[in-house]
Amino acid sequence: DEPGMVKFKVTVCQFVEVARLLGMSRLAKAFCDIDIVYCQKYQPNIIFERQFTLEKGDPFCDHTYKKKSLKKR
């Protein structure tokens, strides 16, 4: 880890579980995609990265939030 970075792993996701129970796995992917869109639109100074998702069958979702470095003028 580095300054200006927060990382965490999610091992249980209610969105994924409910979508699977309803047979609507595409709905789970939509919830995952919202994380990216939210950061791009509402947190422009934050970079969101994720390599693994429960929705894809991985054992966890890895969320990484990095503060964009400010450019010196």
Per-residue pLDDT tens digits for 5-27: 999 999 999 999 999 999 998 89
Q: Where residue 71 falls among pLDDT bands split at 50, 70, 90? A: low
Question: What is the model's pLDDT at position 1?
Answer: 64
Query: Taking Cα atoms as reference points, which of 45, 42, 15 lies closest to residue 31?
Result: 15
5-39 burial string, b = 16+ CB within 10 Å, else e? Answer: eeeeeeeebebbeebeeeeeeeebbebbeeeeeeb
For 29-49, how does the pLDDT look when each residue is reduced to its tens digit (9 = 90+)?
899 999 999 999 999 999 999
Cβ atoms 55, 14 nearer than 8 A = no
